[in-house]
Amino acid sequence: MKLSIIIPCYNEEHTINALLDTIFKVKFPIEREIIVIDDGSTVNHKQFVLNEIKDNKIKFVRIPENQGKGIAIRIGLKYASGDIFIIQDADLEYLPQDIPTLLKPILEGEAEVVYGTRFAKKPKFMARSHYLANKLLTTITNILYNTNLTDMETGYKLFTKNVLGKIELNTREFEFEPEITSKILLNGFKIKEIPINYQYRKHGAAKINWLDGIEGVLLLIQQRFCPSSIVYGFLYRIYKFHFKKVIFNLTKFMVNYIHMRRI
């Protein structure tokens, strides 16, 4: 069996080498491959991982323009040749040392989907707003899908080729997390959670915001009740591609305005 590690990255030049070095040091119980997807970063990450490419330690794909995490993952999956897949964020919030533990239930035939939960205990240094948003989205997921998850938004999601073959992924950005979760559950697969270590990012800023959270809720509702609804799909696209941007720019303007008034 083979594990495919999909690494979508956008402007993670400060951490990508350290992440790869950490992965190389981990002893995996099965063969593994690494696919790095540079999602239109302002600086081509190929220059940072050139030695690993030359040594055939990784596959590297560069998307010319930023498309979003969801698209980067979908492209990575097309290049993957494994039997089991895991998404690995490039910011070193999730520690590759945990991957063998997450693999165990799948290798032992206990599960086909494993999530690494950050909330077995409260993550250190996670912003309170992010903590509460994650808990809210997970609670909504549990209510809508009659499950008992603790961390729906976790970046550590493992799933088998059989699971991937039963679902169709369409999302573009951070709504990937609720999309894959809802489709896994709707197809009758159980999600096994295992506690993981977690450290809040030390470089750069989190790219997700509260508007992405609203989008996640809308997608969870759509997938649960009306996945094929043309009307709901139309309204969802209006929010995603038009209304969301207007709200973001207006909020940014108001924050800057209040800041200037205080000065």
- pLDDT for 103-161, tens place per residue? 999 999 999 999 999 987 766 667 787 888 899 999 999 999 999 999 999 999 999 99
Comparison of pLDDT for 171 and 83, the residue scoring more: 83
Read off φ and ψ for residue 206, nearest 5 degrees.
Answer: -60, 135
pLDDT-derived band at 240, boundaries 50, 70, 90: confident
- 240/100: higher pLDDT: 100
Residues paired with residue 87 on neighbouring β-strands, in sequence order = 6
Dihedral angle over CA of 21, 25, 29, 32, nearest 10: 20
Does 54 have pLDDT greater than 90? Answer: no
- pTM, to two decimals: 0.87
Burial 62-75 (b: 16+ CB within 10 A, else e): ebeebbbbbbbbbb
The answer on pLDDT for 9 being more than 60 is yes
- What pLDDT was estimated at residue 263? 62
Contact (Cβ atoms closer than 8 angstroms) between residue 225 and residue 186? no
Per-residue pLDDT at 169 exceeds 70: yes
Confidence of residue 201 (pLDDT cuts 50, 70, 90): low
Return the higher-pLDDT residue of 52 and 82.
82
Supply the pLDDT for residue 102: 98
Structure confidence at residue 237 (pLDDT): 79
DSSP H/E element including 4: strand 2-9
Report pLDDT for 145: 97
Mean pLDDT of 239-260: 73
Give the best-scoring range by mean pLDDT among 56-65, 124-133, 181-190, 253-262.
181-190
Lowest mean pLDDT among 29-38, 110-119, 125-134, 213-222: 125-134
Per-residue pLDDT of 15-26, as tens digits, reads 999 999 999 999
Can you give the pLDDT at residue 124? 67
Between 199 and 215, where is the model more confident? 215
Residue 19 CB-half CA count within 13 A: 28
Q: What is the mean pLDDT of the chain?
A: 89
Q: Which one is predicted more confidently, 222 or 202?
A: 222
pLDDT of residue 173: 83
